[in-house]
Chains A and B, each alone.
Chain A
Amino acid sequence: MLEIRGLRKAFGSVVAVDDVSFTIAPGQILAVLGPNGAGKTTTVSMISGLFPPDAGEIRIDGQVSRSDTDPIKRRIGLVPQDLALYDELTAQDNLNFFGALHNLTGSALDHAMAAALTLVGLGDRMRDRVKTFSGGMKRRLNLAAGLLHDPDILLLDEPTVGVDPQSRNAIFDNLEQLKDRGKALLYTTHYMEEAERLADRLVVIDRGTVVANDTLEGLYARVPKPAGGGRVTLESVFLSLTGKSLRD
């Protein structure tokens, strides 16, 4: 469904992403892992059309987006890392606006809004202003805004940052439901346990390049089992691939 080939992006002399390639199939969750500044958000930004790559291509079912208004962009839903919501507006007003950006109006918009809010468990708070929401509720609404136009591909950039375990668990349930509906999900995160729970396949990026693209089991097999019969963790695999030096 989503095919990324040889993506490259530089900001001045800094190469943020270099020769990144991967694919995501319908009903699959791909976790993109990487230290801070590895190029995860830049990759997501290019896929969602925020800026063009310097090289490489992004194909959705073989088609390339040609312009800002290319209808193919409707097949992608973005859930940014920031809480991209208007605090002063109600949840309903926020979704009205984001839905209209995808040309949703009238009953179609109402149905989409109801479905998205129900999925994230905010149906009873739709008329409340977002500024009255907890961090977890805002995260869930952030997810609902990305789902509103029923995209085939959902790009989730660290969607659980700063939320409590209950909200995080609720978001996981939502994502698993979306996967079951055949959506393709690209999920960037720093949390290894999230990737272990959700991902069908994992891409590890470091310093702008892909250092691993494998299943969870494939990654586990890359490092020797610890002495004493302990279990290999994704974190140990991640650290062995990216090193232990600080990246901030």
Chain B
Amino acid sequence: MLTPFLAIVRKDLQLFFTDRRAVILTFAVPIAIASFMGSVLSGTGRQVQRARVTVAIADEDGSTISRSIVAGVQKDDSLTVTMATAADARERVRKGVTSVALIIPPGFGAGAGRSFFRPDAPARPQLGVLYDPSRSAEVGMVRGLFTEHAMQAVGQEMFTGATGRQTLEEALNGLDASSLEPERKQRLRTMLNDILQFQQTASAAEPAPARGVFSMPYTVNEEAVTARANVAYNAYAHSMAGMAIQFLLFAMANHGIEILLERQRGLWKRLRSAPVSRYVILAGKAASGTIISLSSLLVSFAFAIVVLGVRIEGSVIGFAAVCLACSLMAATLGVLVAALANSPATARGLTTFGILMMVMLGGAWVPMFLFPSWLQNVTLVVPVRWAVDGLDAMTWRGVGLSGAVAPTLVLLGFAVVFGAVALSRFRWEEA
């Protein structure tokens, strides 16, 4: 049985490599797209300009505080700020020109100052936030950055500025009418008097707001966690994993479609009329698919290593195991396509949709944290996720061999299931 088996494998490889389009699709396209994605998403450890979120701001207040907030936001290197009227800002978001618009209403600065020292303030100023619902992830980031700049501006003005003095005096005058308990009211009065006294001293020494006395109580040290402290994140590693897997799945779906075409062209009759077991035929198909898939993965990563500086920071054996298991999974998926589809046209439609869904849910295109939690749980049954996780673990995450065990076993499990279903559902009879 070895001769027919090897013949099937050799013939499939010959056919694959004579099809220039299939070779380009399997080897060159993933490299090109992964290189592009990697370069867009991040550099290879070098300092690159950070992606900025575009924000339109309408400052309808024009107070010292609002101007100070706007100045801080404009200096933020995570944001690109455009000043606009409220109507213009809304229109920009509606048309998708900017993803977020902030409307600072009249009286915002004074109201924010009053609320700063009045936990029982009757009405707090309301910041208007308009956002593009298709880019909702950016809203949280803008809100956080705005809060940082607002706290600094309000705090600085309250401790050193004219608005702050006036607000403190108003707060002290209004304290008697406050609903606070007497003891808390007395403590607050003492604190406000101390601040007022401090502010008068600071104002006399140095005109406000030349030097702030209030700032964020902490600074942030951002660190990308990679294999080791001195190893920079290489975005090409992740993009190469995603793209290579996507295109080898497409190649293997095409491998399955080839089986259907062989059936249509009468080649299957010749194959089935020979004294060859059906297991050998399907095993031969799976083996040739595995060889093509594995070649595709290894060529993609060889390119990434030589040209893009990707390194296998984890276990080389683990990397090889994940690649092999992934290739087996993809090859058996191809055979499954041939078993389940009635015609090449049906198979093409279904596999294009199915593979794009798997790739998306596997996190190759879109970060999985954007998915709702139920969908994140669903991705556990998507083989692409395990493949990407396994390759990430062995490359830039630098996890040891143990990190390859679960992805390898799960991918092999998928291969067994795909193979078993294909074997049980394969249409052997030829009319």
Contacts and interface: CB of A to CB of B under 8 A. Distances in A.
B3 to A, nearest CB: 5
A49 B278 CA distance: 12
Contact of A50 (B19, B265, B275, B429): B429
Nearest to B16: A88
Nearest to A87: B265
Given A89-B14, A100-B3, A11 B431 contact: yes
B380 interface: no
Contact of A69 (B266, B275, B431): B275
B265 A70 contact: no
Contacts of B430: 45, 50-51
B266 A102 contact: no
A102 B275 contact: yes
A82 interface: yes
Nearest to A145: B270
A14 B7 CA distance: 37
A78 B273 contact: yes
Interface string B1-34: 1011011101100110011000000000000000
A170 B265 CA distance: 24
A42 B276 contact: no
Nearest to A11: B431
Given A50-B429, A82-B265, A89 B18 contact: yes
B429 to A, nearest CB: 4
Contacts of B7: 96-97, 100-101
Nearest to B17: A88
A84 B428 contact: no
A161 to B, nearest CB: 12
Given A45-B431, A50-B430, A80-B269, A88 B15 contact: yes
B273 A93 contact: no
A105 B265 CA distance: 26
B269 A78 contact: yes
Nearest to A99: B7
Contacts of A76: 273
A89 B15 contact: yes
A68 B275 contact: yes
A80 B266 contact: yes
Contacts of A162: none
Contacts of B272: 48-50, 68
B15 A100 contact: no
Nearest to A94: B11
B3 A105 contact: yes
Contact of A101 (B18, B276, B278, B429): B276
Q: What class of interface size applies to chain B in its complex with A?
A: 20 to 34
Nearest to B269: A80
Contact of B277 (A42, A68, A83, A105): A68
Interface in B56-87: none
A73 B275 contact: yes
Nearest to B431: A11
Q: Does more than half of chain A's interface fall in helix, strand or loop, or is it mixed?
A: loop
B22 to A, nearest CB: 10
Contact of B266 (A73, A82, A89, A101): A82
Contacts of B431: 11, 42, 45, 51
| Central interface residue in B11, B15, B271, by most chain A CB within 10 Å | B11
Given A50-B429, A68-B277, A69-B277, A103 B3 contact: yes
Which DSSP category, helix, strand, loop or mixed, fits chain B's interface?
A: helix
B266 A71 contact: no
B380 to A, nearest CB: 38
Contacts of A146: 270
Contacts of B10: 97
Contacts of A50: 269, 272-273, 429-430
A91 to B, nearest CB: 13
B265 A100 contact: no
B274 interface: yes
Contacts of A220: none
B121 interface: no
A49 B272 CA distance: 7
Q: Which of A48, A69, A98 has the most CB of B within 10 A?
A: A69
A93 B11 contact: yes
B4 A100 contact: yes
Nearest to A151: B273
B267 interface: yes
B265 A102 contact: no
Contacts of A45: 269, 430-431
A74 interface: yes
B180 to A, nearest CB: 86
A72 B14 CA distance: 30
A93 B266 contact: no
Contacts of A86: 11, 15, 267
A100 B12 CA distance: 14
B275 A70 contact: yes
Contacts of A100: 3-4, 6-7
A154 to B, nearest CB: 11
B266 A83 contact: yes
A23 interface: no
Contacts of A242: none
Contacts of B14: 88-89, 93
A81 interface: yes
16 contacts: A42-B431, A49-B272, A51-B428, A68-B277, A69-B277, A73-B273, A76-B273, A83-B266, A86-B15, A88-B15, A89-B14, A96-B7, A101-B271, A101-B274, A102-B274, A146-B270
Given A45-B431, A80-B270, 11 more contacts: A48-B272, A49-B272, A50-B272, A68-B272, A69-B275, A69-B277, A83-B266, A84-B267, A86-B11, A89-B14, A101-B270
Top-4 shortest CB links A-B:
A82-B266, A100-B7, A101-B274, A51-B429
Interface of B: 1, 3-4, 6-8, 10-11, 14-15, 18-19, 265-267, 269-278, 428-431
